[in-house]
Structure 1
């Protein structure tokens, strides 16, 4: 890449890894465009937490103090039995890490950090990629085709960049044996920056309240054979949840009724991404798109930030030569990812997951 200051990079995804990477690359002289399928900044996602070296990245980005202002200050989680009696306690760090903030706040902070000198294209998505010796020809669903020197997929576990550019094997997406619904409802349990967790064989009922004392967030998770339900409609998903929790006591019947009325219902399965390589020519993956560790790892956001920093650093060290930078980035981050994915599998097992299953067709 002869002139680093003229190099153009397209990043797919405007959540965490994408904007963080955009900041680093723009600082190093790249012209950066971020394309995002959503019509605007995503307001979904309840909270994200940070651990370890992620704090170094937030400090380098210059947003650590601002992020801390949104700390949910979550306390511990009470373990209860079938009747709701307390049987144990989990420390705050189990779910909230060293710092927890609403995801929407982190997304907004990273967007503000980059909006002035990064081009954002919302309500659009990549539909085709064609690489040659000079760059990558990109076709969009809405906008006119353009060319870029590099394309980076930071577009999550269901990455379109991965689908288009990587011949991923059937076992690239590995279901961890757990699916579940999330929604918010009235804080009838009186939770005050705390959580409550009820575990049975094959199910987990988790509720917590952070920030808004009148509302609590509920997660109803259960063992599942595949991630097939992710692609089904809400009616089918709700039916699966009700079947998994049929006959359960404590607050579960009331929570199932409130689930049906929730306007923020979301359903997902715990999956990991396992690839032999995170780059193909001028195209690379960062964060969940390349190496999702599953939400049960508690490391997704930290991993996204650290991956973005590493990729930018390696490009800078290689003077923009992707042929050197991409393998160096992978070599640096892969051991960290392997450790986090092990945590993700352990977490899924704790929440009732039935173990790792490969090749469920979600790639």
Structure 2
């Protein structure tokens, strides 16, 4: 049975790994010419995702690439002195097992785990999908697949082709996200520097294995801003306007905008769909149920979704009419929970009032100062994200023995 996956970032390679383990023949198509090696931001892997990664045999490599960010210095806009926070203690209280890793590193690790068994086609994109499984590409010749999976992110091409325009399913969460790569002039190693004000938060962090650093910007907007998705100049203007006059540190980070080798800007938007499947096509990860970039632990949700989708297809012997509904039922509660947690996290990370700013800073300092037991109890009572991911119970889908005559994929693309 031949399955085509669109997208080679996180959900795509994880899904490809488990589908291959279950005996399916997998092809992954990716619009980019190659895996990204620069830019990107840090993502959180909570316990369900680390458990799945452990089963894949890649957790040691992920832990080797961990950012090891364990300290945070927070400056309140308009306040004199900073507040110092023990992040290691907060993460330890939030979840039993947690790893923060750069998104591009994680993508490369999952890709390496699949490259010998999966056909990868880089530099191409799907342009048409027929009800019978005939797929047309921008560059490659048409091919037929039994199933097609969109793992191509918030602005999914597969979703647009099969379900319609993104605006039919997107819900603006009232905020924007910017990320840029810049020199690590402060020599950050294991520390996050943050500036928090009403309606805007900026931070800079490094990682032990990176020569550069990342600056992260979150800001609120009452309405959706007027810019085109690929108009980088306009996006940079909007970012400068949002953080004008916040702090000299932030001004210095923004000075790197025009020289940054990598820049990302997007709205914090949730995907809300009644179903993620239609005919032979389904969606996984941000393409189907993005809880919101930077606020909803979407990477963990995507990894869990990929694992469950592959397992349900195996359980149904490839019958998508049984597997797709089972996949949606298994994920529905977690998707609803992650959406609610993301909105709550956005309110906390981007405070709407001076009281909210003070609550964020003082709350983080209190939790990091308390003994482990009380701090863990307090976080689990007050943090929706922790409750959602700590409560996930995922079925076990034992891999099947692969028949000797089943094709194992092809050469990886270039």
TM-score by length of 1: 0.88
* Native 8 Å contact 2:155 2:166 kept in 1: no
Q: CA RMSD in A?
A: 2.3
Deviation at 1:353, TM superposition (A): 7.7
* Native 8 Å contact 1:156 1:288 kept in 2: yes
Alignment partner of 1:120: what SS?
strand
| 2:162 is equivalent to residue 162 of structure 1 | no
Deviation at 1:216, TM superposition (A): 2.6
Aligned to 1:311: 309
| 2:217 is equivalent to residue 220 of structure 1 | yes
Aligned to 2:339: 341
CA distance in 2 between counterparts of 1:87 and 1:64 reads 33
CA distance in 1 between counterparts of 2:209 and 2:315 reads 45
| 2:200 is equivalent to residue 203 of structure 1 | yes
For residues 206-251 of structure 1, give each alpha carbon's deviation from its aligned partner in whole angstroms, at most 9, with x where no partner exists: 1112125763311222223226435152221121122112232342
CA distance in 2 between counterparts of 1:24 and 1:80 reads 44
Which structure dedicates a bigger proportion of its chain to helix?
A: 2
Where structure 2 has 5 or more consecutive residues not aligned to the other structure, the ranges are 353-414
Distance 1:101 1:175, change over 3 A: same
Q: How many residue pairs end up in the alignment? A: 345
| 2:255 is equivalent to residue 249 of structure 1 | no
Alignment partner of 1:114: what SS?
coil
| 2:275 is equivalent to residue 277 of structure 1 | yes
Correspondence list, 1:180-191, <5 A: 180-191=177-188
Distance 1:106 1:127, change over 3 A: same
Where structure 1 has 5 or more consecutive residues not aligned to the other structure, the ranges are 1-6, 355-363
Deviation at 1:293, TM superposition (A): 1.2
Which structure ranks higher in relative contact order (CA pairs < 8 Å, sequence separation ≥ 6)? 2
Deviation at 1:9, TM superposition (A): 0.4
For residues 174-233 of structure 1, give each alpha carbon's deviation from its aligned partner in whole angstroms, at most 9, with x where no partner exists: 121111322122334443211121111111111112125763311222223226435152
Distance 1:90 1:285, change over 3 A: farther
* Native 8 Å contact 1:79 1:90 kept in 2: no
Task: Work out which of the residue numbers 267, 272, 294 in structure 1 matches 2:265.
Answer: 267
* Native 8 Å contact 2:170 2:270 kept in 1: yes
Deviation at 1:26, TM superposition (A): 1.3
Alignment partner of 1:49: what SS?
strand
Alignment partner of 1:131: what SS?
coil
Alignment partner of 2:267: what SS?
strand
